[in-house]
Amino acid sequence: MLLQGVNIFLGEPAEFGRFNFTSNLLLMNRILRFSLLFSGLFFVVSAHSQTLYEMRYSYTSDGVTDRLSAFILRNDDGTGLVRVAYLNSEDNKNKLVEMDMQESYGQDANGMEDSSQLVFVGLNPRFIIGTTDDEFLEDHFVFSFNPDSGFYEPSFVFSMPDDTSTQVGQLEEVRFLNQEDLTRELVMEFFTEADDFYKQLFETTTRGLSADDKQAQLHLVLVANTEDKDIGKTCVIDKDATYKTFSEIAEFLEINFKPTVIAGKDFTKVNVDKAVSAVRPGPNDIVVFYYSGHGFNDVDEQYQFPYLDLRDKSFQKYGGAFTLNVETIYQKLRSKGARLNLVISDCCNKDPTSGALVSSEGASTRTSSIGWSMENCQALFMSKKPTSILMTAAQKGELSAGNPSDGGIFTFIFREQLEKALGPFTRNPNWSNLVQSAKKETVNKAKTTWCNKEKRIVCVQNPVFKME
């Protein structure tokens, strides 16, 4: 049972994935502390943003076996939650607990990062069904890297009743979940009818688009410095992922998609100017401008948002004829009168002599096929209230970070927050909450991502937003 003071004693060596618990029992204490301090010192990416598992497991102590069931939601940005259902043997009542989740790699016997183990640490347990008198000792789930699949997959579960002991649970059933697996019976085991997730799956009614809405268009101007020798590969990831996201949003809404992509040999200031000028939105249209590349700023400049480095030749100088401030682009597009304007830049916001940052790469789990909510998509992109948002990856005086595997930290986080808002785990999404979450999670991810692993230096990045 998951109550304070219950211990499990390990006898013969037991192999769980690649982790031998007899030799590493004391190490688990350090793993947990490491997880709490440096959770998520990696970066993850997949086609869509969520992984769902149902796990059934047990703990045995003093001849008594207690069985529990867990519903695990992992987001690709490192956030997540766990719900655990069990029968409390003390009062013979069903309990339901929710926990936040943090991730980290494990540690090896020398206290160094062990990338073969991914620890999902349960935090802040709170009873959904139960009383304030109930107690619950957090469970922690370990995923081991499977070289055959290329993913981290469930390996074992453990808890820590105190600083000197570790309870190891027995995984009895593990089920990877997709949309079709989310039956009412399964969901009701872990959620109540009052939960937003339940309502989104089983009670949502979606309004049809008006005749004017059906004529709406999504205009995308996508600018990426894909041939830069330092960050070109990162910009390719950003370009492809951003194009995919907004083309799918247009397809999902069944509205026309009008993309303009400026990359490769087409990456010039002249082409950016032409593309911005060419956008002619109607009052019901959506306009998205996205930039991935170098950026810069100066302490004496009035702008808090960065200048985009639009040089297309290595001998050209910073600024002047080869730059535009992203706020200027924002004001031009906003003046055109579209329903929704999103202007996004993932670039540095510091003096032009600063070098590019390359962050650490990370781990992937399997990705569940969880569809979007039409109600949520309409709430964000088809609102009758005109909205304009300007976003950039780092505040004035900071660098932005990314890597050739995952793209820019900020772009990745924003995209994940957007996909979360479109999914069934969110109810009544709005842009204010979305951009605030994107800022918060970017700050957190930067703090727990190596920008120089050898020197143990983490990234520092604080996005800036303006919404009107």
Task: Tell if the pTM clears 0.85, that is, is over it.
Answer: no
Order of all β-strands in the sheet with 93-107: 165-168, 151-162, 140-146, 113-129, 93-107, 80-88, 64-75, 50-61, 170-177
Residue among 98, 140, 94 at smallest CA distance from 120: 140
Are 393 and 225 a contacting pair, CB within 8 Å?
no
Q: Are 104 and 363 in contact (CB under 8 A)?
A: no
Helix, strand, coil distribution of the chain in percent, nearest 5: 25, 35, 40
224 and 263 in contact (C-beta within 8 Å)?
yes
Q: Which of 155, 151, 138, 1 is nearest to 68 (CA)?
A: 1
Concatenating the DSSP letter of every residue in 10-58 gives --S--EETTEEHHHHHHHHHHHHHHHHHSTT-S----SSSEEEEEEEEE
Which pLDDT tens digit goes with each residue over 294-352? 999 986 778 899 999 999 877 777 777 889 999 999 999 999 999 999 999 999 998 76
What CA–CA distance (Å, rounded) separates 302 from 74?
Answer: 41
pLDDT at residue 37, rounded to an integer: 37
Cα dist. 391→128, 159, 183, 341, 406 in Å? 36, 41, 38, 11, 20
Domain with CATH 3.40.50.1460 in the chain: 211-467
**CA gap 311, 302 in Å, rounded:** 22
> How many residues are listed for the chain in this entry?
468
Q: Quick one: three-class SS letters along 86-121?
A: EEECCCCEEEEEEEEEEEEEEECCCCCEEEEEEEEE
pLDDT for residue 32: 43
291 contacts 224 by C-beta, under 8 angstroms: yes
pLDDT at 314: 76
Give the pLDDT of residue 131: 83
- What per-residue confidence (pLDDT) applies to 167? 87
pLDDT score, position 224: 98
With vertex at residue 351, the alpha carbon angle to CA 264 and CA 329, rounded to the nearest 5 degrees, is 55
- Euclidean distance between CA atoms 274 and 258, whole angstroms: 15
Closest CA to 383 of 252, 243, 285, 259: 285
Instruction: Report d(CA 248, CA 448) in Å as an integer.
Output: 31
CATH number of 211-467: 3.40.50.1460
Distance CA 337, CA 138 (A): 51
Q: Give the chain's residues under pLDDT 70.
A: 1-49, 77-78, 107-108, 110-113, 204-207, 299, 352-367, 369
Tell me how far the alpha carbon of residue 352 is from its chain's centroid. 29
Cβ contacts of 158 within 8 Å, gap of 6 or more? 28, 139, 140, 142, 166, 167, 168, 169
Taking only the tens place, the pLDDT of each residue in 439-467 is: 998 998 888 777 777 777 778 899 999 99
Those residues whose C-beta lies under 8 Å from the C-beta of residue 332, and which sit 6 or more positions away, are 276, 277
Of residues 204, 163, 259, 245, the one with CA closest to residue 379: 204
